């Protein structure tokens, strides 16, 4: 059997894991690896002869069958990938940002040149999700996704919950352990999860989702007090990537913290573990969970894609048809203000007669019912902490309620998962 000849762009954590894994596989040959600094010490030994600091050496190498892109970001990754496709190469990538922002252009270009682009590692690390949706679950009409797709934020929220620590303290710990970047914005503000749910929803719903239509909210405003109160009400707080689509093609796709009931699986997905819950017909509800990042979990998905291409090399003129993009419609976006949710609201209010009645009156005026209300003891500064959980209501109305609580401090407004 002819070996599949590959070139790899990037030899960081994931790239090193891919090389280590491929060293035990006989039918794949690494021809060239592009890196920024050839002399940099690495955790994996590779012959100096296959290293280059010019990615175009492998992009333009006619002997290479597959380019594996592992550097992330839109540029220069897009320039390398697009050139590789035009040069007749298949693509394997773990680049969630590129897929979210240029996925349509990428897949159209691949189809134009009859190449495949596989990206199992871009969504949930080592969890197999894209290929199962496109193959085993292909006969299902999936209409809802609820997922934990970022290990950094899940680690932070879990530590806040378990240790009763503040966001700021846990972030510092996560950075020291290497779970969070020096600049954690991409994770803690929800960008990473938003990129992932954009592509995941596109695949699951069989309609294109535009990243600019995905509502995004991070975890930086979550307080340790919210974690404790959520537990009292029977919930855990998680950063949830949420997507649903109705029969008319209206897609509600968003990333934000949610109170998740302790009766559900997602409430117990802790630390750096990821999970994806899918709902559809005829499958019903399923949950896939596992390591969402790291050297070998992500390498597992990358190598799986490489071997999928290797298995079909030389057997067909149209490789892996089920894994290709065949979308012809873009879903109609649902604005966050038009969504309906239950809400957790934490309020610091003056200790005055009738304050709870005032909250109830404002909500009643908006036709919002209250499911629970809890008042803590009065503080030394003569204020009271009040927590309200509403029944389902429209987002724009709950925002109006918050604006009318002018003599109160609204500490937190968090949506509640049903």
* pLDDT at residue 1 in the model: 59
* pLDDT at residue 113 in the model: 98
* pLDDT at residue 217 in the model: 98
- With a pLDDT cut of 70, the percent of the chain lying above it is 100
Q: CB under 8 Å to 247, separation ≥6 — which residues?
A: none
CB 31 within 8 A of CB 19: no
- DSSP H stretches of helix in 113-190: 121-124, 130-134, 151-163, 167-177, 185-188
Whole-prediction pTM value? 0.96
Q: CB under 8 Å to 338, separation ≥6 — which residues?
A: 394, 395, 396
For residue 394, the SS3 value is strand
Q: Which residues are catalytic?
A: 196
Per-residue CA distances from 401 to 343, 358, 394 (Å) = 12, 11, 11
Q: CB under 8 Å to 131, separation ≥6 — which residues?
A: 120, 304, 308, 323
Q: Tell me the C-alpha distance between 59 and 109, whole Å.
A: 16
Per-residue CA distances from 195 to 37, 45, 112, 247 (Å) = 28, 32, 25, 24
Q: Tell me the C-alpha distance between 412 and 283, whole Å.
A: 36
CB 418 within 8 A of CB 264: no
Q: Tell me the C-alpha distance between 333 and 348, whole Å.
A: 35
Domains recognised in the chain with CATH numbers: 4-124+295-323 (3.40.50.720), 130-292 (3.30.360.10), 337-416 (3.30.70.260)
Of the candidates 197, 236, 239, 192, the one whose C-alpha atom is nearest the C-alpha of residue 219 is 239
For residue 145, the SS3 value is strand
Residue 398 — φ and ψ, nearest 5°?
-65, -30
Q: Tell me the C-alpha distance between 28 and 320, whole Å.
A: 18
pLDDT digits (tens, 9 = 90+) for 183-200: 999 999 999 999 999 999
Give the rounded distance of the alpha carbon of 227 from its chain centre: 22
Residue ranges of the chain whose pLDDT lies below 70? 1
Residue 232 — φ and ψ, nearest 5°?
-60, -35
Bridging pattern class, strands 250-261 and 117-118: unpaired
């Amino acid at each position: 059997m002819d070996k599949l000849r590959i070139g790899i762009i990037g030899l960081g954590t994931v790239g090193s894991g891919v090389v280590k894994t491929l060293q035990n596989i006989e039918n794949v040959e690494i021809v060239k690896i592009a890196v920024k600094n050839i002399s940099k010490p690495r955790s994996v030994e590779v012959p100096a002869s296959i290293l280059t600091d010019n990615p175009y050496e492998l992009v333009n190498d006619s002997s290479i069958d597959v380019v594996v892109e592992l550097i992330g970001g839109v540029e220069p990754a897009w320039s390398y990938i697009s050139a590789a496709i035009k040069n007749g190469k298949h693509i394997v990538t773990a680049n969630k940002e590129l897929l979210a922002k240029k996925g349509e252009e990428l897949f159209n270009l691949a189809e134009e040149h009859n190449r495949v682009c596989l990206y199992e590692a871009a969504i949930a690390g080592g969890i197999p999700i894209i290929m199962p949706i496109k193959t085993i679950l292909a006969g299902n009409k999936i209409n809802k996704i609820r997922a934990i797709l970022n290990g950094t934020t899940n680690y932070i929220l879990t530590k806040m919950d378990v240790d009763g620590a503040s966001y700021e303290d846990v972030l510092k710990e996560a950075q020291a352990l290497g779970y969070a970047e020096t600049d954690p914005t991409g994770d803690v503000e929800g960008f990473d999860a938003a990129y992932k749910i954009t592509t995941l929803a596109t695949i699951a719903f069989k309609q294109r989702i535009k990243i600019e239509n995905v509502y995004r909210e991070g975890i930086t405003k979550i307080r340790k007090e919210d974690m404790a109160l959520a537990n009292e009400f029977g919930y855990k707080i998680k950063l949830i990537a949420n997507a649903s689509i109705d029969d008319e093609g209206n897609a509600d796709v968003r990333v934000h913290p949610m109170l998740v009931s302790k009766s559900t699986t997602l409430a117990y997905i802790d630390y750096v573990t990821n999970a994806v819950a899918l709902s559809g017909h005829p499958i019903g509800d399923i949950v896939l969970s596992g390591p969402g990042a790291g050297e070998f979990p992500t390498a597992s998905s990358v190598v799986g894609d490489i071997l999928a291409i290797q298995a079909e090399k030389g057997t067909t003129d149209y490789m892996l048809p089920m894994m290709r993009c065949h979308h012809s419609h873009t879903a109609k976006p649902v604005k966050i203000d038009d969504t309906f949710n239950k809400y957790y609201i934490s309020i610091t209010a003056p200790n005055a007669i009738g304050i709870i009645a005032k909250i109830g009156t404002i909500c009643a005026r908006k036709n919002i019912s209250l499911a629970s209300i809890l008042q803590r003891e009065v503080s030394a500064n003569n204020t009271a902490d009040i927590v309200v959980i509403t029944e389902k209501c429209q987002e724009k109305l709950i925002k109006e309620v918050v604006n009318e609580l002018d003599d109160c401090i609204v500490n937190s407004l968090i949506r509640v998962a049903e």
